[in-house]
Structure 1
Amino acid sequence: MSDLVIGVLALQGDVREHLAALAECDVIGRPVRRPEEIAGIDALVIPGGESTTMSKLAVAFDVYEPIRERLAQGMPAYGSCAGMIMLADEVLDGRPDQKTFGGIGMTVRRNAFGRQVDSFEAPVVIDGLDGDPVHAIFIRAPWVESVGPDVEVLGRVESGPATGRMVAVRQGNLLATSFHPELTGDLRVHRLFVDMVRARVS
């Protein structure tokens, strides 16, 4: 076990699954829901869930501004599904009062793939990951409508009605996916993020 401490924003969503994945990547995973806990982490995972609820809870629990400040200072973060929305600079179809942490120069469309009944699974090739395509699970997932010049598109949907849609991106120390790798047992996305964190803190 390394001494890297990666927080998982524990306001709602797939917190336990991300903590388990981080433990398998030999880092310390720690749930984060209070402002004072943010200072003690090297990086942050923002899980799937419901982005408008997550936004409100982040403000209510007084973690919204501290997280924004740490991200602005270069703290690495990874967001899956709702976490991708929370890292977007612009959100389409969001509530008027919805806040994001921002940091990735992208425009994201909420629930772009449809409602819960429209959830699906598809193979996605992720740049930088060896082996077979990632088996991606999309649950009321967003997609990336457009990206700025500093954003690297790592993966797109390979087949089906959403072929070509951007679903994995990176900008500097920030990584985001539309899908939920924490639900599949495939640790490659988490390992990619851990490598990003190690590169940042070393």
Structure 2
Amino acid sequence: MASVGVFALQGDVREHLATLTALGAEAFPVRRPDELARCDALVLPGGESTTMVKLARTFELLDPLRDRVRSGMPTFGTCAGMILLADRILDGAVGQETIGGLDVTVRRNAFGRQVDSFEADLALKGLDAPVHAVFIRAPWVEEAGAGVDVLAEAAGHPVAVRQGHLMATSFHPEVADDGRIHRLFLDLVQG
């Protein structure tokens, strides 16, 4: 099975590690470039996207992350992780950086503030039953490039996408006690 790192400087690290481990992956936290080098694949968790980028730069991980994503390492971003993978951001902090690679424009906090968080059952391409999606200050995809496959929508906007070796959701599958989306990612890693 693949070794899957979870970006562990901020965010829902523990939940992703538990889900991946339950699915048989060798999952471990990534805080330093040498840990990133061990990864066959990576998960960028939900959290605070601006804080995550600042910490990645402080811990000298930002450029290695960009290099690995550009070189084809399978990467799955959830919520803030979707923002980190996006090539373009709307409503971001001034000068906010991303790792990039995913040909999308995301709108940060598109569904509103923390008090506007919600849950919904969504049909997701590749799964035969709906997934329970937890949206917490979530982004949505405002525009997707021609090579981006939309896997699910909410409120008329894409909230789950895949492009080549990259996959992203604006919701938090790691808190829903349903490993099917992580399984889709692991299938992408194996494929």
Corresponding residue pairs, total:
191
CA–CA distance in structure 2, aligned partners of residues 60 and 96 of structure 1: 18
Runs (4 or more) in structure 1 with deviation over 4 Å come to none
CA RMSD of aligned residues (A): 0.7
Q: Structure 1 residue aligned with 2:150, among 142, 148, 153?
A: 153
Q: Describe the SS at the equivalent of 1:57.
A: helix
TM-score, normalised with respect to structure 1: 0.93
Match of 2:48 in 1: 50
- Percent identity between the aligned chains? 61
CA–CA distance in structure 1, aligned partners of residues 22 and 35 of structure 2: 22
Match of 2:110 in 1: 112
Q: Find out whether 1:179 has 2:171 as its counterpart.
A: yes
Deviation string, structure 1 residues 95-128 (Cα, Å, up to 9, x no partner): 1221111011000000000000000001111101
CA–CA distance in structure 1, aligned partners of residues 188 and 44 of structure 2: 15
Q: Describe the SS at the equivalent of 2:11.
A: coil
CA–CA distance in structure 2, aligned partners of residues 198 and 42 of structure 1: 10
Match of 1:136 in 2: 133
Structure 2 unaligned segments of length 5 or more: list them. Answer: none
CA–CA distance in structure 2, aligned partners of residues 116 and 76 of structure 1: 30
Q: Describe the SS at the equivalent of 1:37.
A: helix
Deviation at 1:165, TM superposition (A): 1.4
Q: Describe the SS at the equivalent of 2:42.
A: strand
Q: Structure 2 residue aligned with 1:22, among 20, 23, 37?
A: 20
TM-score, normalised with respect to structure 2: 0.98
